[in-house]
Structures are given as C-alpha cells and as structure tokens.
Amino acid sequence: MFKGILIEKDEAGYRAAVQDIDPAALPAGDVTVQVAYSTLNYKDGLAISGKSPVVRRFPMVPGIDLAGSVIESSHPDVKVGDAVVLNGWGVGESHWGGLAQRARLNGDWLVPLPAAFSPAQAMAIGTAGYTAMLSVLALERYGLTPDRGPVIVTGAAGGVGSVAVAVLAKLGYRVTAVTGRPQEADYLRQLGATEVLARTDFSSPGKPLAKERWAGAVDTVGSHTLANVCAQMSYRGIVTACGLAGGMDLPASVAPFILRGVTLAGIDSVMCPRPERLQAWQRLATDLDLTKLSLITHEIGLTDAIPTATALLASQVRGRVVVDVNA
C-alpha cells in the first residue's frame, strides 16, 4: 500500500482525502515511478476543492507535477533507477497524478531530471516554472531582447509570475511586477523586479489603446488585465498568455494588433511537445538563479496539501508549494 490523495465523486458528494491505496489500483502505463516530491498548483487546487470541473474521471489522484525515480519500466528509453520529472499531459485530470507516493505513467511523458536540480528543486520549479520558461522562450522567439525595453509580469507573486520575474531579471531585462498583494513588493524586488504595480491598475475596463509602456509581457491573469497589457504594449511588442486567474474572457480590441503590430502568443504547458520541454528545462538549469528558489518556495507534507489548496485558490499563497509526499 502507498499513501496518496484520492478524489472521489458519488452519491455522497465530492471529496478529497489522504488514503492508503493498493498498487493494483494504479492506472495503465509502461513506467512506474516512486514519487519523491510533487507540487500544488492552481489547477490542483481546483481539482482538490471541486470548484471547477478539472477532474475528468473518478477516482483520481491529483497532482500535475512529480519528480522521482523509476522502479519499473517496459519503455525502451526509460530505465529502472532513472531520475525523472513529469509536467502536464493531463496527469491529475484524466490520469492519476503526482500527489501520491507512487505513479504509473506513459514513459513518453517523462523527461530526465536535469543534473543541476535535486528532485525537490525540480518541483520548486514545477509546471509553474516550466511554463514561465516557455513564456520566456516565446518572447525570445519573437525577437525580444533586453535593449528593446521593459517587460511586465502580471500575477507576479504567484508561481508562474515569481519564476518569470527571476528568470527575466537574470537575463538582463527591466522587469515590472504586477500583484494584488502590496505586502509582497519587497519579495518581488528580491526576485529582481525594478518596479511593482498594483493589480487594480489593470483589472478594470480600459481603452483600446493606451500609452506605450512595455516591450514584452508575461500574463498569468487574463480578462481585463491581459486586455490592458495589450493596449499598453510598445510597437511590435510581444505578449505571452499562460494563465486565467482573473478569468477566461478577453475584453480587448484588435487595435494593438493592427495598429502597433503587437503579437499575442499563447503558452500551453500541458501538451507541449517533448523537444520544447527539454529546451525549457535546459534553459532553467542555466537561466534561473537557484538561490532564488528559497524565496519562491515553501514545502509541506502530503496531509497539508488539502487545506493549502483552499488557501491557494484564495490567493493567500506566495510563489511555489512543494509537497513531500513521503512526509
């Protein structure tokens, strides 16, 4: 038996609890991983709480991230003893995920744990940090360089935003951080932000076009925040959209795109092809200052994950939550 969070839905209702799970209940897969660490992300919070229909089948072990070592494998490219990381691929939604001591998975979903990181550090980065790096790669792909001008990061005190601020600052960008938590201003400056703005400056309906301010943007919020960021982009600015903490709508106009040549690039971390995943993790190994991880991260045990999920959805959690599934 192994311990894990199991989400169930039946006539008695929707519930999540830490349980002892029989290995025979693990889903199909060609690789079994002994999980060392997982994480708690916004999507995991939604799954555990049932506040959004994230879970596609029941029962379900949540957790869109995991790091651990392979204990069984029939996959030709994955060997017993390999240290591996998994992010996304519908894990924790339609396939049992990482908030348990064991996981059975499709070996094609796994990437090698970079030598630069311990399993705990890899989970301190997790899907949030990997998504942030995908956003940085997209900004670069569309030609953004530090000399073009400042970059804005919305939802900056969250997991994606925190890593984005840290990476962009290390790469030499002038970073403006936007947050709804003014008490986190010092934290964001420690990560490398040169300016901290209030979320309320962006969360109300704005003009189709506003004063040009930003050469690049990483948006984790959506809705009016993303619309206002687009309206404030400089000529040929690049915006990456990777989150919806503020809503799924986009009440914007075409003006920034057809009058200023602004690019809006969507970032999907769940089904991202393997070559881009490998590139993102390789770049994180060189472009993320690991000394910042202690600022970004706090660690909890498996039994603390359920109450922490509620705090996460209430925007009461800073940065990244690493879950030691064996504690």
> What one-character DSSP code corresponds to residue 262?
-
Share of the chain above pLDDT 90, in %: 92
Q: How far apart are CA 301 and CA 89, in angstroms?
A: 24
Q: What is the mean pLDDT of residues 83-97?
A: 96
Q: Where are the beta strands (DSSP E) in the chain?
A: 2-10, 13-21, 31-40, 65-73, 83-87, 102-105, 111-112, 151-153, 175-179, 195-198, 214-219, 233-241, 263-266, 297-301, 320-324
Beta-carbon contacts of 72 under 8 Å, excluding residues fewer than 6 positions away, are 31, 32, 80
Predicted pLDDT of residue 52 = 81
Q: Please name which of 216, 214, 186 lies closest in space to residue 201, comparing C-alpha atoms.
A: 214
The residue that leads in pLDDT, 52 or 143, is 143
- Side-chain-side CA neighbours of residue 291 (13 Å): 4
| Torsion angle (degrees, nearest 10) of CA 160, 265, 144, 190 | -10
CATH 3.50.50.60 for the 2-113+292-324 domain, yes or no = no
3.30.1330.10, 3.40.50.720, 1.10.220.10, 3.30.1490.20: CATH of 126-266: 3.40.50.720
Is the model's pLDDT at 316 over the cut of 90? no
Going by pLDDT thresholds of 50, 70 and 90, the confidence category of residue 317 is confident
Mean pLDDT is lowest, of 19-23, 150-154, 242-246, for 242-246
**Which amino acid is residue 113, in one-letter code?**
L
Is the model's pLDDT at 318 over the cut of 90? no
Q: What are phi and psi of 70, to 5 degrees?
A: -75, 130
Predicted pLDDT of residue 53 = 86
Task: Return mean pLDDT, the chain.
Answer: 96
Predicted pLDDT of residue 12 = 86
Going by pLDDT thresholds of 50, 70 and 90, the confidence category of residue 287 is very high
Q: Please name which of 28, 30, 54, 56 lies closest in space to residue 41, comparing C-alpha atoms.
A: 54
**Which amino acid is residue 103, in one-letter code?**
A
Q: Please name which of 51, 281, 315 lies closest in space to residue 161, comparing C-alpha atoms.
A: 315
Query: Does pTM surpass 0.85?
Result: yes
Is the model's pLDDT at 68 over the cut of 90? yes
Q: How far apart are CA 251 and CA 261, in angstroms?
A: 18
Predicted pLDDT of residue 319 = 85
2-113+292-324 shares its CATH topology with 126-266: no
Residue ranges of domains in the chain: 2-113+292-324, 126-266
> What one-character DSSP code corresponds to residue 28?
P
Q: pLDDT (tens digit, 9 = 90+) per residue, 170-181?
A: 999 999 999 999
